[in-house]
Amino acid sequence: MQPPIATPASAPSVPAAPESWDFSHCTATLADDPDGVRDYAEDWRSHGGGLEAEQCAALAEMELGDVATAATTLDRLAHVPDWPAGPPEGRRGNRHAVVETPASRLRRASVAEAAARAWQADDSPKQAFDSATYGLTLAPDDPALKLVYARVAVELGQPQRAIDMLTPLPSAPAARDEALVARAGAWRQLGRIDQGMADINAALHDMPHNGAALLERGILYQRQGQMEQARADWLDVVKQAPDSDEADLARQDLALLETDPEAP
């Protein structure tokens, strides 16, 4: 009787080398599989992923709802020089200034913008304002940073800062339309309803079904005493995107309108 033939043991899986990992791969499925992205990022970190792996993990935490943790991490990362590698171990803590490249500063600015958005999601406008302000020291002309700065300024009751930041408007059409919506809200806070309406109608000319723009125009119509027009815009918001944050706000405005139809 022949002895049983030995079968070779399965070779253990070998982790990928650090150079085979990358940020775009890490974030590719962020919206669809944030749990998987977080696992990938943590594995990448254990293989020397450094700052980019930390950023990817923070973005996954944000998608998973832990926005405070994500915001804290992103804000810390934005202040680390020499992106994406970070300062070598031997340089940490010494007194020599780090010489950055333009690309490094732009990358840090984008991380600061992500931190500001995370703070907004955490209902922490002061921290969001601080992150956006810091990002603008790195990239003063960045449209995304200017927009988040302006939105938070409006939230903090500082509309003139928002208007100053968004004037002149960005040249890119999509950024321009978002800036028009944000600036309209700032004009409204200042009581300059006609200027707000001019901005919001310009934005809606390019994106007639935008929920944020329709929500804002409804508020402006209400301030003008045009209640039926306000109602129509808010109903349009709810109809187009019933699960959106804008729809929730529109429902609140509609409920108030039912309670006191004549209130401006």
Q: Give the three-state DSSP class for 162.
A: helix
* Cα gap 170→220, rounded to integer Å: 23
In tens, the pLDDT along 103-139 reads: 999 999 999 999 999 999 999 999 999 999 999 999 9
pLDDT band at 20 (very low <50, low <70, confident <90, very high): confident
Is the CB of residue 179 less than 8 Å from the CB of residue 169? yes
pLDDT at 263: 63
* Cα gap 25→27, rounded to integer Å: 6
* Cα gap 257→161, rounded to integer Å: 31
Least confident of 21-25, 33-37, 252-256: 21-25
* Cα gap 135→122, rounded to integer Å: 18
User: What element of type H or E holds 250?
Assistant: helix 245-259
Is the CB of residue 76 less than 8 Å from the CB of residue 87? no
Q: Across the chain, what does the average pLDDT equal?
A: 90
pLDDT band at 160 (very low <50, low <70, confident <90, very high): very high
Q: Give the three-state DSSP class for 228.
A: helix
Structural domains of the chain in order of their starting residue, each with its CATH number: 166-263 (1.25.40.10)
Closest CA to 173 of 202, 215, 145: 202
pLDDT (average), residues 49-66? 96
pLDDT at 6: 45
pLDDT at 205: 97
* Cα gap 48→73, rounded to integer Å: 18
Check pLDDT > 90 for residue 207. yes
pLDDT band at 262 (very low <50, low <70, confident <90, very high): low
Span between the terminal Cα atoms of the chain, in Å: 97
> Other CB atoms closer than 10 Å to residue 124's CB: what's the count?
18
* Cα gap 120→133, rounded to integer Å: 14
pLDDT (average), residues 32-51? 94
In tens, the pLDDT along 175-193 reads: 999 999 999 999 999 999 9
pLDDT band at 11 (very low <50, low <70, confident <90, very high): very low
Burial (CB count within 10 angstroms: exposed 0-12, middle 13-18, buried 19+), residue 19: exposed
Token pair of 16 as six digits: 């990928």
Check pLDDT > 60 for residue 50. yes
In tens, the pLDDT along 216-233 reads: 999 999 999 999 999 999
Distances (CA, A) of 185 to 60, 151, 159, 229: 31, 9, 8, 18
Is the CB of residue 121 less than 8 Å from the CB of residue 112? no
Percent of the chain with pLDDT over 70: 87
* Cα gap 163→5, rounded to integer Å: 79
pLDDT at 99: 72
- Give the predicted TM-score (pTM) of the model: 0.85
Closest CA to 211 of 249, 185, 179, 176: 249
pLDDT band at 83 (very low <50, low <70, confident <90, very high): confident
